Amino acid sequence: MSATSTRKRKAVALAADADLVLRKCRQLRQSLEVKAEIESSVVGVLPEGIPSDIVEVVELPATQVLEGMEAMALHIAQQVLERKGFSLEIPSRAASNQIYVKEWDRIVLGGKRSSRSFLNVKESRKSAITLRVMQLLHAVLMKRIHITKRDLFYTDVKLFVDQAESDGVLDDVATMIGCTRSNLHVVASDKGLVVGRIQFEEDGDFIDCTKMGVGGKAIPPYIDKIENIASDAEFILLVEKEAAYMRMAVRFGEAIGFISHSIIASHSIWLHSQEDRFYHRYPCIIITAKGQPDVATRMFLARITSELKIPVLGLVDSDPYGLKILSVYMSGSKNMSYDSASLTTPDIKWLGLRPSDLDKYDLPEQCRLDMTENDIKTGKEMMKEDFIQKNPEWMKELEIMVRQRRLGQGY
C-alpha cells in the first residue's frame, strides 16, 4: 500500500454562511478602493524608468479618428505628387518591441518603428493592403456603422488572401492613429457571456443580467455603447470554461466550497441547497470567454471592474494554460500590447485547485492527470515571463507542476 493511500486526508471545513465566504471579498474591495484613490492622485505621471516613447492608444471619438486617417492620406498624396512613391512609419509590433512594465503590471508596446515603402518590392503588397484597409475603415466611420473583422476581410478577399493580413494591418492603423481598435468600428464576433448582479443600458436598451435565462447575456462587441452600469455585486467571478459557467449560473449548490483561509473553490465540496442560482446567495457577476479571452470580454471586464471597484476572482484550470489565460486578463497579450490599458484587469485572485493541493488534500489518483510534453514545455516557457516571475506564488505552483508532471483534473 502506498504512502499516499495511507495518508490521512486533511479535513476541509465549510463556511457556516455566505457572510463568512464573502468576508475576504469585502476586504479585497476595501483595498481596491484605497488603491484607486492613490492611483487617481498620480494620473498622467509616468513611473520612473519607463521609456517616454512607449505606444499606448487612447479612446478617441469618430471625428478625431477620421481626422487622423485623412491626415495620413494627405501625407501619402503629397509623397506621390513629389514622385517619391510613398512610405508609412508604423510602430513595430514585433516581439522584440513588447515591454512588460512591472509598475503597471502589463505589457506595452515600445517605441521602435518600422518603415513600409510602396517602392520596395518586398513591402509593396503590404503597403497596398494598408491603404485599402484605411479606405474601407474611412467608409465605415463615415457611415457610422460597425463591422466585424471577418466582414473587413471579405470586402476584398483577392487582395487580402488571408484574414491574418487584414487583421494585422487593422492593428497597424490603430497604432498609427493612436486609437483603440474598437474606435475604428471593427469588432470581433460575440464570444463572452455574463450573468448575475449587473444591469446596464446597451445602445439605449435596458439589460438586467439576472433575467437573461440560463445561458446569460452575450457580451456585446460594442463596449462603447454600454452606459449606466449598476450593480450590488460583492465580486466578479471570472470562469475559464463555459461548462463551469453554466453550473454557476444554474445552481449554487453545485458550485462552491470553502477551502483554507482565502480560497473559494469548486473542486471538492458542494453545498446542499439547489433551489437558487449562485449569484443570488453570493451576490456576484459571473463572466466567461469560453476559454482563451477575446478582446470584447477583456474590455468588458476591465470596464466594469474600473467602474464598480469590486474584486475579480478567476476560476481556471490547474494547468499552464489556465494560468496563461489568467495572465492575459491581468497583464495583456503581446499582439494587443498597444491597447493594454483598456484591456487589462490587474490583481485577479486565482481560485480553484492548485498543484500544491494534490498532496495537501490527498486527492485520489482518479483526480490526477499526467502532463503531456507540450504541457511541460508551456509551463517552462511561462516561468521565463516577467509577468509570471513577479508573482512568487504562481512561480511556486508552476515549479510543482513541472517537477511532479501531474495536474489536477478540472478545477
Model confidence band, residue 272 (pLDDT cutoffs 50, 70, 90): very low
pLDDT digits (tens, 9 = 90+) for 274-313: 234 788 888 899 999 988 899 999 999 999 999 999 999 9
Q: Say what percent of the chain tops pLDDT 90.
A: 30
Three-state SS at 217: strand
Q: Determine the Cα–Cα distance for residues 238 and 245; give it in Å rounded to an integer.
A: 9
Express each pLDDT in 137-161 by its tens digit. 999 999 998 888 989 999 999 999 9
pLDDT of residue 264: 38
How far is the C-alpha of 258 from the C-alpha of 271, rounded, in Å?
10
> What is the DSSP code string of 132-158?
HHHHHHHHHHHHT--EEHHHHHHHTHH
Distance CA 336, CA 35 (A): 26
DSSP secondary structure of 228-239: EEE---SEEEEE
Of 100, 154, 282, 329, which is the active-site residue?
154
pLDDT in tens, 241-270: 776 666 656 554 444 443 333 333 333 322
Residue type, 219: I
Query: Do 22 and 282 meet the contact criterion of CB atoms below 8 Å apart?
Result: yes
**Does residue 154 have an active-site annotation?**
yes
Lowest mean pLDDT across 147-151, 228-232, 407-411: 407-411
pLDDT value of position 363: 77
DSSP characters over 164-198: HHHHHHHHHHHHHHTB-GGGGTEEPPP--EEEES-
